[in-house]
Amino acid sequence: MRVGILDIQGDVSEHLEMLKKINVEGVMVRYKKDLDSIDGLIIPGGESTVIGSILKARGMDKYILDIKIPVMGTCAGLILISEKVDDKDGLMPILKISVSRNAYGTQRESFETDLKINDVGSFRGVFIRAPRIDEVRKGVVLSYFNGKPVMVKDGRNIGLTFHPEIYGDERIHKLFVDGLD
Ligand code: GLN
């Protein structure tokens, strides 16, 4: 089992640590060819416009869709795999959901909260200029915050509006990896 972490921008090393904790080999994914040797891909948070334009320039967006690699997208990563983003077509429509970018406010309004997550339990969620999920057309919602979905799973794909890698709690990574078998 090898799980890739998209290494273009964002908190890549924290995700690698989480995989180490559950004894899964983490692989840095920078170019298209790196996608051929992995069983699943984590797209970390960062700035979705920056990550998206590099994915496009390297031909990786179409390839990720073509080879149907399971993806876990967090925050900016979620934005990149959403079907609709701010009412426009998203880059890689893997999750049939609609999101609004930066809907919880600016960097200063970033916050943490204790979430209840189905199949995981209580979990400290860190929201950093997070997107908001406005509609889920397919898949199951595993957690809500203030009445809005914050974690969605559809088949082997998972999307989260918060960062699961900050506090060293590996349970969400385990949920993703367990689904890859
Ligand atoms: N605000 C960022 C964006 O729109 C996402 C922030 C994050 O990934 N923490 O891409």
Q: Please give the Cα distance from 123 to 147 (Å, whole number).
A: 17
What pLDDT digit, counting tens, does each position of 38-76 carry? 999 999 999 999 999 999 999 999 999 999 999 999 999
The predicted pLDDT at position 110 comes to: 87
The predicted pLDDT at position 105 comes to: 75
Domains plus CATH for the chain?
2-178 (3.40.50.880)
pLDDT at 107 over 70: no
Ligand 1 atom with least separation from CA of 10: 8
92 C-alpha to center of ligand 1: Å? 16
23's tokens: 């004894």
Ligand 1 site residues, Cβ closer than 6 angstroms = 45-48, 75-76, 79, 101-102, 128-129
Q: Please give the Cα distance from 80 to 32 (Å, whole number).
A: 16
**pTM of the predicted model as reported, rounded to 2 decimal places:** 0.96
CB 45 within 8 A of CB 128: yes
Q: What angle do CA 42, 49, 55 make, to 5 degrees?
A: 55
What pLDDT digit, counting tens, does each position of 2-52 carry? 999 999 998 899 999 999 999 999 999 999 999 999 999 999 999 999 999
